[in-house]
């Protein structure tokens, strides 16, 4: 069962890198965040209508996840305002596997083999190294917000891993999280951007936002299912292979340079993933 689950996590990583590319290209990331909420709302309304309710023990996790997801989204937007995408994304995503490992060990009692622990560390170091290059300067707020974003990523990952297991049905659990998270988020962004009508004025850009939202929700549904079969820290670290896909997307489609530093970083992440699977 493990190999198919790992392949699903890698597919989720590719989807994750893809929707982040849309976010990177958006001139108004807060607006895109609101548009991305629309597919979440549609999918979650259908999901909660068709799927059984999560087990009673899962509801505290649902509530905690909703708060953490909203905090993560707005912290990420704030981080991108104070720093470059190429700085913020690797720091936030690279920090989270280490924090997830600590959280899963403390709250879920999960213990990884020494090789897997080394793999998680390599994945984190490899990803975070993408944020640093010669001559780069960080603004005063960029690193703190990036670290805070990584903390929220790790927190909701551990919460969702525990919640999916407690719910008995991982998809039912995440659909309720999606619903209770994205309705207030969508309404808040609409308020900040002048109402619902102004959110849907450009068909082309709206279509990109809806596609990004569909990719994001599909990717995390796969991750939630993987939490039921693999250790939370393992899933989290493998999901962060999205950074390799992000480098490849940047090189192939965004005309970004594939530097030696990026190749070495990707090699470290790949070696870490191999160690995790040993």
Question: What is the residue-level pLDDT of the chain in tens, covering all 278 positions?
Answer: 588 899 999 999 999 988 888 877 777 777 888 899 999 999 999 999 999 999 999 999 999 999 999 999 889 888 877 777 667 778 888 899 999 999 999 998 888 889 999 999 999 999 888 877 655 665 667 788 889 999 999 999 999 999 999 999 999 999 999 999 999 999 988 888 777 777 777 666 788 889 999 999 999 999 999 998 999 999 999 998 888 888 888 888 878 788 888 889 889 998 998 898 76
Q: Which domain holds residue 257?
A: 2-277
Task: Flag whether the pTM goes above 0.85.
Answer: yes
Question: How many Cα atoms are found within 13 Å in the side-chain-facing hemisphere of 204?
Answer: 1
Residues 205, 144: Cα–Cα separation, whole Å: 31
Number of domains in the chain: 1
Tokens of 131: 């944020």
Residues 163, 166: Cα–Cα separation, whole Å: 5
């Amino acid at each position: 069962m493990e190999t198919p689950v790992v392949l699903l996590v890698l597919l989720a990583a590719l989807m994750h890198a893809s929707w982040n590319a849309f976010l990177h290209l958006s001139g108004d990331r807060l607006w895109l965040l609101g548009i991305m909420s629309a597919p979440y709302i549609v999918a979650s309304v259908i999901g909660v209508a068709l799927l059984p309710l999560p087990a009673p023990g899962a509801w505290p996790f649902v509530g905690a996840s909703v708060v953490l997801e909203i905090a993560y989204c707005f912290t990420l937007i704030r981080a991108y305002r104070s720093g470059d995408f190429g700085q913020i994304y690797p720091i936030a995503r690279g920090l989270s596997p280490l924090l997830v490992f600590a959280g899963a060990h403390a709250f879920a009692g999960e213990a990884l083999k020494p090789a897997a622990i080394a793999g998680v560390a390599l994945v984190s170091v490899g990803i975070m190294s993408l944020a640093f290059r010669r001559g780069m300067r960080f603004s005063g707020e960029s690193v703190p917000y990036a670290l805070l974003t990584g903390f929220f990523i790790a927190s909701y990952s551990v919460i969702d891993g525990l919640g999916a297991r407690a719910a008995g049905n991982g998809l039912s659990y995440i659909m309720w999280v999606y619903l209770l998270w994205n309705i207030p988020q969508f309404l808040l962004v609409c308020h900040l951007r002048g109402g619902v009508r102004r959110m849907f004025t450009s068909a082309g850009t709206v279509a990109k936002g809806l596609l990004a939202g569909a990719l994001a929700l599909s990717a995390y549904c796969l991750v939630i299912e993987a939490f039921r079969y693999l250790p939370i820290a393992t899933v989290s670290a493998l999901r962060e292979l999205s950074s390799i896909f992000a480098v490849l997307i940047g090189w192939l489609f965004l005309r970004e340079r594939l530097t030696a530093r990026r190749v070495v970083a990707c090699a470290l992440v790949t070696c870490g993933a191999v160690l995790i699977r040993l």
